[in-house]
Amino acid sequence: MSAPSTTEGSSKTAPRGVDPASYDSDPSQFLKQRRGRYGERVAMGGLIGSAGLSVLITVGIFLALLVPALDFFREISIGDFLSGQRWAPTFADADFGVLPLVTGTLWTTAIGMLIAVPFGLGAAVYLAEYAPHRVRSILKPILEILAGIPSVVYGYFALFFVAPVILNDLLHIGVGTFSVLAAGLVLGVMIIPTIASISEDALSAVPQSLRQASLALGANRMRTTTRVVFPAAISGITASVVLGASRAVGETMIVALAAGPQARIVSSPTESGQTMTGFIAQTATGESSPGTLGYNTLFAVGLLLFVVTLLMNVIAGMVVRRIREVY
C-alpha cells in the first residue's frame, strides 16, 4: 500500500483527489478541510442527540405512567382491570373493569377508520396519479387545512350538527344526544387529511420509470396505479394508516364531547359510551388527590393506551417489513 501523498518539507496530508502541491501554494485549504471535518462531527452529534432525545422522552413518558400505575395494580388486580365489565371508580361500591372504556374506544376508532381509510386513500390516489397540477395545487392545501382545525371544533360539530341534523333528521337513524356513531364519523373526517397527505407523498415518491414500464407493457392507468404504484408505496401507505389509527385511539376532545360521559359496554353504534381518552379528559380536573386510588386510575388507563398504541406500531412495522418492495 502506498503512503499518503505529501509535499516535500510538509507534514500535512492531502485528501484524496486534491493536489498536494496546492497546500504549499494556499495553506488555507488545509484549514478549511479541518474546519469542514469538525462541522461534520458537530452535525452528526446533533443528529444523534436528536434521535436519542426522542427515545429518552418516550422512556420518560412510559416511566411517568408506569410508577403510579403500579401503585394502582397493587390494589386492583390486572385481571379484574382488564376483564371487568363495570367502570365506576368514583362510586362507593367502586369497580375498576376497564372493558366499558375499551369498547367505546374500539367503536369510535373502527367507525373513524372505516371513513378515513377509503376516503383518505382515494384522495391520495387522485392527487398523486390523476389530478392536474393546477387542481392539485388547490385541493392539497384545502385538505391540509382540515388537519389544522382544532379537535374541539370537530367535537362540537359532531354534537350539535352531525347527531341531530344528519343522523336524526336526514338519515332517521335515531341516535341520542351522545353516540359513538356521531363521534366516530367526525373522527374519521378529522383523520382523512393525515392518511391522504402521507399516502400521497408515498405514491408521488414511486419512480416514474415504474409507471412508464407498466404503460409500455399495455397496462392502463388504473391497472398501473393498483398493480404497480400502490404496491411500491405500500410501506408509506401503511405508515399513514397506522398513524391515523393512533390518532383515532388517542383523540380526546371529539369523543369527550360527542361519545358520551357514561362508561358502559357499547353493543351498538347508536349507543353512547365513554372512551379511555374521554375518561381521562373528564377526570383529570385537579380534584383527585395525588397518591389516591382514584388518581392512579388515570395512569392505569393511560398506560393501557400507551401499550395499545405501541403494539399497533410494532405489528404495523412487522407487516411492512414482510410486504414492502424495495426499488
Q: How many Cβ atoms are within 10 Å of 88's Cβ, its own excluded? A: 15
pLDDT tens figures, 168-182: 989 888 888 899 999
> pLDDT value at position 42?
82
266's CB contacts (< 8 A; 6+ apart) are 100, 103, 104, 107, 180, 272, 273
Higher-confidence position of 325 and 155: 155
- Predicted local confidence at residue 9, as pLDDT: 44
Burial 215-230 (b: 16+ CB within 10 A, else e): eeeebeeeebbeebbb
Task: Please report which confidence band the pLDDT of residue 5 belongs to, taking 50, 70 and 90 as the band edges.
Answer: very low
Q: Each residue of 200-215: pLDDT tens digit? A: 989 988 888 888 899 8
**Average pLDDT of the segment spanning 80-101:** 85
Residue type, 157: F
What is the pLDDT at residue 140?
Answer: 83
pLDDT confidence of residue 8: 45
Taking 80 as the threshold, does the pLDDT of residue 7 lie above it? no
Q: What is the pLDDT of residue 263?
A: 87
Give yes or no for residue 2 having a pLDDT over 90. no
**What's the half-sphere exposure (Cβ side, CA atoms, 13 Å) at 91?**
9
The pLDDT tens digits of the residues spanning 143-155 come to 888 888 888 999 9
Taking a C-beta distance cutoff of 8 angstroms, is the pair 227, 124 a contact? no
Which amino acid, 207?
P
Please give the pLDDT value at position 105. 93
| pLDDT exceeds cutoff 50 at 141 | yes
Q: What does the pLDDT read at residue 325?
A: 61
* pLDDT for residue 94 is more than 90: no
pLDDT (0 to 100) of residue 292: 81
pLDDT, one tens digit per residue, over 46-57 is 889 888 998 899
| CATH level 3 topology of 80-323 | MetI-like fold (1.10.3720)
Q: What average pLDDT does this structure show over 295-318?
A: 88
Does residue 11 carry a pLDDT above 80? no
pLDDT tens by residue, 212-260: 899 898 888 889 988 889 888 888 898 899 989 988 998 888 999 999 8
